[in-house]
């Protein structure tokens, strides 16, 4: 197997140290990562991690693995994780994430990957219905005793560190006590997603960087702290780090739709907003290079659609070509799709007389949350904005975690909100805090 070289450091702990490293020691040992690929169900698999590292990701998490299935089903485990995962040559540093509600089962699962990763993470953030049914992820937030037992079981019995990824409550102080509990149990890194459990799908809204900063300031100064939420563009990384005072910034959806979201070394448009024809070819070649790797093959279709989500809105004739594929499709079938995208972008679009004038990224007006929405050519990777009641999220007011108001996303919206405030001036409810957090 030949795997494309990455452009980022892959320094990591490749053998168990004689003494388990503490959080800050561990963070330093893996190269002090600043950009992190989030753990995502069926999305942050090996091929995607290799691609993301080429575009600036310093640390990657695996997809969320179900601990019980990982232990009891050889088929499940081998389809999700094999001897290629965690290879020091191209897939480190790496943290493996599990969801679980049984401490002993969690430990058994962790023992199976202990020698192929730098840490094991407990998923405490999944908000989906399946997590509620199975009682894991964010649906453990009512059972702090169990959370403590899960983390402590790993901390006391693994040669590597345990970490945790959590969501917040609307209550700042409760969120702080929750974070302290996770750390007391033995978590060496803590990742905080600044959204509540209820904020998902059309109710996703905006993560609160204000809550993240509050937690960061109240936790021990030396605590390794990762922020997650609201990363749309590469320049959001620095804003997030400055506003939350975190050690590193994690991205899930932003990375899925544009791996270039992590590229901060230069202002190169081809690295920050890759052309879909070029990145599709890179990704496809990586998938072939790690074959056979079931998880990477299974995820191809989803990644094709996400990488080209805006492009497919214009060139919709490609949708059926991708739609009819399956995990059983040959690489020849996928090659035809890649070649057609290369033909459209590389020959039709790039050959336009005014292409150089059109092939630019333009900042919109400065928003009250401190950044800009950008206009990106449809043939380049860019953020995804889900629609709520038929309206894109970047054009409407959005709820912010921990706030009773709505987020202001445009000057027009701001004027409407200010007018509403004036109309209710003096009213206790109308004078509720109107803060903006990103």
Provide the token pair at 417: 């909100």
**What are the tokens at 195?**
């959204």
Q: Please compute, for residue 351, the number of CA atoms within 13 A of its CA located in the half-sphere on the CB side.
A: 7
Q: What distance in Å separates the CA atoms of residue 51 and residue 286, rounded to the nearest whole number?
A: 7
Beta strands in 294-349 (DSSP E): none
- Does residue 319 contact residue 311 with C-beta atoms inside 8 Å? no
Residue 340 to residues 33, 230, 328, Cα–Cα distance (Å): 37, 33, 20
List phi, psi (to 5°) of 88: -60, -20
Q: Which two tokens stand for residue 366?
A: 């400065």
Q: Using the 8-state DSSP alphabet, how is residue 206 labeled?
A: B
Helix (H, G, I), strand (E, B) or coil at 63: strand
Three-state DSSP at 219 gives: coil
> How far are the Cα atoms of 75, 100, 332 from residue 107, in angstroms, in the given order?
19, 10, 41
Q: Collapsing DSSP states into helix, strand and coil, what is residue 374?
A: strand
Count of Cβ atoms closer than 10 Å to residue 121 Cβ: 25
Pick the catalytic residue: 60, 99, 126, 381?
A: 126
The secondary structure element, H or E, covering residue 271 is: helix 269-272
Rounded to the nearest angstrom, the gap between the alpha carbon of residue 205 and the centroid of all alpha carbons in its chain is 16
Point out which residues pair with 164 in neighbouring strands: 122, 190
Q: Taking the CB of residue 88, how many other CB atoms lie within 10 A of it?
A: 15
126 is catalytic: yes
Cα distances from 45 to residues 66, 168, 284, in angstroms, run: 14, 26, 14
| Positions marked active-site | 126
């Amino acid at each position: 197997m030949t795997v494309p070289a990455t452009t980022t450091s892959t320094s990591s702990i490749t053998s168990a140290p004689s003494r388990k490293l503490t959080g800050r020691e561990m963070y330093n040992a893996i190269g002090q990562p600043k950009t992190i690929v989030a753990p995502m169900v069926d999305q942050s698999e090996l091929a995607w991690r290799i691609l993301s590292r080429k575009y600036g990701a310093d640390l990657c998490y695996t997809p969320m693995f179900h601990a019980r299935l990982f232990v009891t089903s050889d088929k499940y485990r081998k389809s999700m994780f094999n001897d290629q995962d965690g290879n020091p040559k191209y897939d480190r540093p790496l943290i493996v994430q599990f969801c679980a509600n049984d401490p002993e089962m969690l430990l058994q699962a962790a023992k199976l990957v202990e020698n192929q990763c730098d840490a094991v993470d407990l998923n405490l953030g999944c908000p989906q219905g399946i997590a509620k049914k199975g009682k894991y992820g964010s649906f453990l937030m009512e059972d702090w005793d169990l959370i403590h037992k899960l983390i402590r079981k790993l901390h006391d019995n693994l040669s590597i560190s345990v970490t945790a990824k959590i969501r917040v409550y609307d209550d700042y102080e409760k969120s702080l006590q929750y974070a302290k509990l996770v750390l007391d149990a033995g978590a060496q890194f803590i990742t905080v997603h600044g959204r509540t459990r209820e904020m998902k799908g059309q109710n996703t809204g905006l993560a609160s960087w204000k809550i993240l900063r509050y937690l960061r300031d109240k936790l021990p100064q030396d605590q390794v702290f990762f922020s997650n939420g609201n990363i749309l563009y590469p320049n959001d990384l620095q804003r997030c780090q400055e506003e939350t005072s975190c050690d590193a910034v994690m991205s899930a959806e932003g990375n899925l739709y544009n791996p270039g979201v992590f590229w901060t070394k230069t202002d190169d448009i081809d690295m920050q907003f890759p052309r879909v024809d070029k990145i599709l070819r890179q990704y496809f070649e990586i998938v072939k290079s790690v074959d056979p790797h079931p998880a990477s093959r299974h995820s191809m279709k989803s990644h094709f659609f996400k990488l080209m989500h805006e492009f497919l809105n214009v060139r919709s004739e490609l949708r059926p070509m991708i739609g009819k594929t399956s995990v059983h499709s040959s690489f020849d079938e996928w090659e035809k799709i890649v070649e057609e995208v290369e033909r459209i972008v590389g020959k039709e679009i790039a050959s336009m007389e005014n292409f150089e004038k059109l092939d630019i990224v333009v900042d919109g007006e400065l928003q009250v949350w401190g950044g800009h929405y950008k206009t990106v050519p449809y043939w380049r990777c860019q953020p995804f904005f889900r629609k709520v009641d038929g309206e894109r999220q970047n054009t409407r007011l959005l709820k912010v975690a921990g706030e009773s108001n709505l987020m202001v996303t445009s000057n027009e919206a701001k004027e409407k909100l200010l007018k509403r405030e004036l109309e209710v001036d003096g009213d206790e409810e109308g004078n509720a805090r109107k803060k903006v957090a990103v």
